[in-house]
Chains A and B, each alone.
Chain A
Amino acid sequence: MSEENWIEVGSTDSIEEEDLIRFDHQDKTFCVYRLTDGFYATDGICTHEAVHLEDGLVMDDEIECPMHQGIFNIKSGEALSPPACEDLKTYPVKVDNDKIFIKID
């Protein structure tokens, strides 16, 4: 695991609890979430159609797509409710000095 892959997203207080922010890096979009037990990251685009999950609703450990209410588990990326059926990619997150980093492969 090389250190270079950890990309800084922003400060921990940029995300409210039970909420998310969108993070764009190079040509990819990610969503970074603050849940009650920590920070998580997934791909930023729904696996059903090309829709940004940043406009979705975070409920407990789940993100609901704003377009057709497909639901994914934020921690595992598992697609939980149709029309979403393909899992969402997840990424490791760490917090260092109140800054959030995600590891992009």
Chain B
Amino acid sequence: MKNNIIILGGGQAGIYAAREIRQNDTEANIKILGEENLLPYERPPLSKDFLLNKKNEDDLYFHSSDVLKNENIDFENISISKVDFENKKLFSKNEDIYTYDSLLISTGSDNKRLSLDNNLNDDVYYLRNLEEAKTIKEKVSDKNKITIIGGGFIGLEIASSLSQLQKKVTVIEIGNQLMGRIIPKQIADLIQKTHLENGNKIILNKQIDKITKKNGINDILLSDNSLIQTDFIIAGIGSTPSVKLFENTNLKLDNGIVTNQFCETSIKDVYAAGDVCNFYHPFYERNMRLESYQHAQNHGICAGKNIAGVKTEYNSIPWMWSDQFNLNLQLTGICDDYDEIIERGNDINNGVIYFFLKNKKIRGACGVGIMGKVGRDIRITSKLTEKNTIVDKQILSDQNQKLNKLIQKQ
């Protein structure tokens, strides 16, 4: 009997899982259920090249419908509103029923929303999907003063893009640095400097007290009683795993769907991958949740292998990037568990990297430079991390010495 495999969520993790299953199982029925009426597409350009009109919708799709057809992967545009794990069934609002033998959950994440106590909710915009990117692009076209609430990656990328479209941009951040959740302050400060040099205003350490609207202008009252007047508001205040559907089921949740290193959830034959997972990472010996392109792809592939019966451990060293103005920021591994920090370079033109070491071994690194200047070193760092190499700190800190020496030295 053919295995009936359903992939719930048609994003990056979902499509990579589907194709990997097909590679390993030519027989299975594979169906992706996605609530966006779009084939799986890349989200990174939404806050960057799509807003900047350098990429259009057709450039975003991972694969054409022909690829899916050739590989006999079915995509159905439907939103699932109920699950019955016991009887292996999913239900749509109209009570369409989908029965599976194996299920992959790849529902991604949802933007956190500001809690506004008046009816201004429709006047604050968010960015997660193509629909929202189109709305923002259209709405800002005749606006001048834009305020971004939240100085995280997505907020700052939008700030960079809109600044390049000649908008006057203000970013309001509640914390005492930009990207405070994961980026070291030294790097955040270098990026802040670039925003300032390009005319963006950055306000740190301030909360929003109230937003009111009069004659099309928004008044944002801050915690220190200062007032910002703006034509348009976009909030990027973080995200939460998309798990609402599973809240009253016995699927184990804890900051996402809890999975082991094989992408298995607490329920037999139910797997999860991508942004929605709080997965066990054997190398770091702890659980983590990541929102990154590389992770969504590799985790999806790993889930696909396991669903197809090829038992595979997920041990990929985390990696992500963010592009703002002509800067490219990269992060590998984890930067919150260390006993020593080593700095490499001090000029953003050649790239600046901070390495985070524990017991003389690299646990993670974060760097920034003009257009890919840190890419090679960060990539080598991922390899050194993965191989648990005891590193020569002198080479690490000297930009004139190539890091691949450290790999060859082993």
- Residues of A in contact with B (beta carbons under 8 Å apart): 49, 51-52, 55-57, 64-69, 82-83
Contacts and interface: CB of A to CB of B under 8 A. Distances in A.
Contacts of A49: 49
B interface secondary structure, majority? mixed
Contact of A51 (B371, B374, B380): B371
A56 B376 contact: yes
15 contacts: A51-B371, A52-B371, A55-B376, A56-B372, A57-B375, A57-B379, A57-B404, A64-B379, A66-B328, A66-B375, A67-B321, A69-B319, A69-B379, A83-B42, A83-B293
A50 to B, nearest CB: 8
Contacts, number: 47
B13 to A, nearest CB: 13
B294 interface: yes
A82 B62 contact: yes
A35 B62 CA distance: 31
Given A67-B321, A67-B328, A82 B297 contact: yes
A57 B328 CA distance: 16
A99 B265 CA distance: 58
A69 B44 CA distance: 14
A64 to B, nearest CB: 6
A35 B293 CA distance: 30
B360 interface: no
Given A51-B372, A52-B372, A57-B375, 13 more contacts: A49-B49, A52-B371, A55-B372, A57-B376, A57-B379, A57-B380, A66-B328, A66-B374, A66-B379, A67-B321, A69-B294, A69-B375, A82-B297
B393 interface: no
Interface string B15-51: 0000000000000000000000000001010000100
A48 to B, nearest CB: 10
